[in-house]
A and B are shown apart, each in its own frame.
Chain A
Amino acid sequence: MSRITRLPRRDFLSMGALAAGGTFLGSRLCLANAAARGKRRPRFVLVVLRGALDGLAAVPPLGDRDYANLRGEFALRPPGEAQGALPLDGFFGLHPALKFLHDSYAARELTVFHAVASPYRERSHFDGQDVLENGTPLPHASQSGWLNRALGESSGGARRDSGVALGQNVPLVMRGPAQVTSWSPSRLAGPDEDTLARITDLYSHDPLLSVRLADALAADAMVAQSDGMQGMAPEVARVGADRYAEIVHAAAGFLRQEDGPQVAVFDTSGWDTHANQGGAEGQLAGRLTALDRGLATLRAQLGPAWNDTTVLLVTEFGRTAAINGTRGTDHGTATMALLVGGAVAGGRVIADWPGLSSRSLYQGRDLMPTLDLRCVLKGLLQEHLGVPARALDSAVFPGSEHARPLRGLLRA
């Protein structure tokens, strides 16, 4: 028991030791890595799981002595048993619905972070999502998002204009000074070129609408012209009712192009499981299945570009450690984050596991945060997109100097 609980902690500590090895040297190494990759273009997909995904359900700490008792009827059985969890490192497991992610772990393309949290410590979804996206320690402290600011600071890793939000509008995390666009499949034919030219003209003195329209037309042109995206529309039409499948197809369609956007963001909802959450089967299992299938589709659709891709899944906070009175879980604190992709140095769980005993829980009810999500984000942005360390501490995540980037998240 004690031996396996130490495993993830040691992994975490070794990462920390690496991080302590000097920022300057580290950033030079990172740039050298990026240069050594030559023409490979990094791709990054951020998936925002809105509603607070229960990290203890998605990545159950099967080896924790308090887990089964806290989770009661919804505690997952050990790997190998009927409807059992999928094995990770002997201590943690994956929810049985996450089959693709489990295959990715085996292929060393998935890194799991646990007991992770943004700086937000209250329990409002809406403020929690705001902090998750704005990159500051406080809700509503910024009108722009960390991913947009990172694009603006990216030195060669990603171009300033290389972000796309899949959806009609741009979520906060992607809003800001760097030009980004949004795209969603259309069901109407659209105006002819003459009408569009006249509207473009009409918007010429409107700083907002002129930029928005130009971006939208550029994204549409990319869809229309690219060989890679020919045939996307029928695919999308076929999966019509399923917004998530549409979005995944579109994200892959953009990212696999050699001169297209390098960063895509989209969100999924339905994770706010206050009642009848279910265990190996049920409400949450259904959502996780759809999420897992979407990621499998993303990988298949990206083709060879998957090797240059990282996909990060984050949620605003976790849920109560114990099941509540209505077979669900209420708003909590720490949770998990997942990093998957061909560029990921995976097959690891990175967690300084705090334990689930009543004394170890945050405010006696939630998983205690032991890893600042910004450490993950900073390590990823630095290594993958070439965002300089100094920019990460100031412009991208203001007031985060103490949150050192996790190193070695990507394949060398």
Chain B
Amino acid sequence: MQQLSSTIAANRFGLGARPGDLAAIGDDGRGWLRAQLAAAAPVLPDEGLPPSAEVLGQAFALQRQIRAERRSGSDVQQKLPQLLRPIYTAEATARFRQAVLSERPFLERLTQFWSNHFAVSIDKQYMAGLAGSFEREAIRPHVLDNFGDLLVAAETHPAMLLYLDNHLSVGPHSPAALRAGRRQRGRPLGINENLGREILELHTLGAGGGYTQADVTSFATVITGWSLGGGIGPFADGPPGRFVFRSAMHEPGAKTVLGRRYPDDGYGQGVAVLNDIAQHPATARHIAVKLARHFIADEPPPGAVERIARAFSDYGGDLRRVYRALIDSGEAWEQPLAKYKTPGDFIISAYRGLSLPADAGHGPLAPFELLGQRTWQPGSPAGWPDRSADWDGASALLKRIEWADAVGGRLGSRRDAAALAPQLLGANLSAATGTAIGRAASASQALTLLMSAPEFMRR
């Protein structure tokens, strides 16, 4: 019987055991995870994926062309999706391949965790072309950094500024607003509080983290002027698709956020607020709860939350220290199968366990759509939910079984479920599952049973 330690390390902290993984991990699951934290954060192999600035540069150029051609009556509306969709497919495929092939799956899971924490969703304009590069540029390089660095990288990325509308937000007393007011035409310019609110509620302090509507409004004025270059109309100047601080749109003057007064130094005012809230005890707790919910249990054990939050505060948000506190939490190693897999977890673990090809020629993104978790489309800035009840619906379960049956049918006798079961499920493999696989009517059915087993639905 395999050690529980390797089973939990590979399946809960990692993305699912591959044949041979559990034996290689041996009885030191914690050591295997700590080793993954040692080197620099993994990057995606260069597959010619375009940087977000390039994507946006092309998108803006295309929109100018669309505007020009509309005047001459031609309809080129479809061109923007035609530009962005192939980028989405290439990005999501590259991410999936990395998850399936990674030797440091704990780091890939952490990357997905943070990408979901700072979620952008492809159902909003431009995001299909940006969600992947956002993850590669703002999230991936910082998963082993300080939380404050990750925070600033995410909030200043053009994808986030566009997703939460901040690029258009104008201080009501900024030079741009006063100019527009003097001209006495058009609409008055003002703030959009979307990004300011979600930074406080979702990315840092958390709802109930002690901020007020006045803090939201004030913080939103602090980050007025955080915009990007190369856009349409008044946003045309500046490097296309890159962060630009537009001082003409920035609300002048000192502002108070969470009881602290910040003198105005333009762009730096927002960074100063971000650096402070990154260190706030409510942020430490909010992040600790989310990590513990993801890695330990839907209802996170208070002791573990406390330890993780303390590590966050004691080490100034050093994420390596935070992850070590998580790994060292005994609660994470006590309850096997405490977490119900998301559709993404389920698919990736099946691909890893059955050595399925995740390259572009095999339509690798179809199962995500079938099972209800299209990559980078959580539909809201809150990201995908992370509790069993969010994913364990009757129809959702049947979809998994149907997909498992299709995969089993395709593989047939090319995989041996009886040999794979102990290698993938380790200490979690139940006698009932072992017997059912052993008695299956065909190799295909045995694989369907393996993937449908209660212990394969969970991690």
Contact = CB atoms under 8 A, between A and B. Distances in A.
Interface string B360-398: 000000000011100000011010000011111111111
B146 to A, nearest CB: 26
A324 B402 contact: no
Contacts of B397: 209, 212-213, 216
Nearest to A208: B392
Given A198-B436, A209-B397, A325-B169, A170 B187 contact: no
B393 A275 contact: no
Given A199-B452, A215-B394, A326-B165, A331 B197 contact: yes
A165 interface: yes
A182 B449 CA distance: 22
B202 to A, nearest CB: 8
A198 B390 contact: no
B188 A325 contact: yes
Interface stretch (A124-132, A225-233, A304-312): A124-132
Given A51-B380, A169-B372, A189-B402, A202 B188 contact: no
Contacts of A203: 454
Contacts of A215: 394
Contact of B194 (A139, A199, A330): A330
B207 A220 contact: no
Nearest to A122: B207
B432 interface: yes
Interface size class of B (residues with CB under 8 A): 35 or more
B193 interface: yes
A325 B170 contact: yes
A325 B189 contact: yes
Contacts of A202: 432-433, 436, 449, 452-454
A198 B169 contact: no
A216 to B, nearest CB: 4
Contact of B395 (A124, A183, A196, A363): A183
B395 A213 contact: no
A188 B370 contact: yes
Interface in A213-262: 213, 215-217, 219-220
Interface in A152-194: 165, 167-170, 172, 175, 181-184, 186-191, 194
A325 B191 contact: yes
B394 to A, nearest CB: 4
A206 interface: yes
A6 to B, nearest CB: 32
| Max count, chain A CB within 10 A of own CB: residue among B187, B191, B202, B433 | B187
A14 interface: no
Contacts of A126: 201-202, 207, 380, 382
Contacts of A165: 393
B186 to A, nearest CB: 9
Interface stretch (B132-140, B257-265, B302-310, B440-448): B440-448
A325 B172 contact: yes
B399 interface: yes
A9 interface: no
Interface string B412-452: 00000000000000000000110010001100010011001
List the 4 closest A-B pairs by CB distance, nearest first.
Answer: A325-B190, A169-B393, A168-B396, A216-B394
Interface of A: 50-51, 72-73, 122-127, 139, 143, 165, 167-170, 172, 175, 181-184, 186-191, 194-196, 198-199, 201-203, 205-206, 208-209, 211-213, 215-217, 219-220, 269-270, 272, 274-275, 323-328, 330-331, 363
Given A182-B393, A194-B445, 13 more contacts: A123-B197, A123-B216, A124-B207, A167-B395, A168-B393, A189-B405, A191-B402, A202-B449, A205-B432, A212-B393, A213-B397, A324-B193, A330-B193
27 contacts: A50-B379, A124-B207, A126-B207, A127-B208, A139-B208, A167-B393, A168-B393, A168-B396, A169-B395, A182-B396, A188-B370, A188-B403, A195-B448, A199-B449, A201-B436, A202-B432, A202-B433, A202-B436, A212-B394, A217-B398, A275-B168, A275-B194, A324-B192, A325-B170, A325-B172, A328-B192, A330-B194
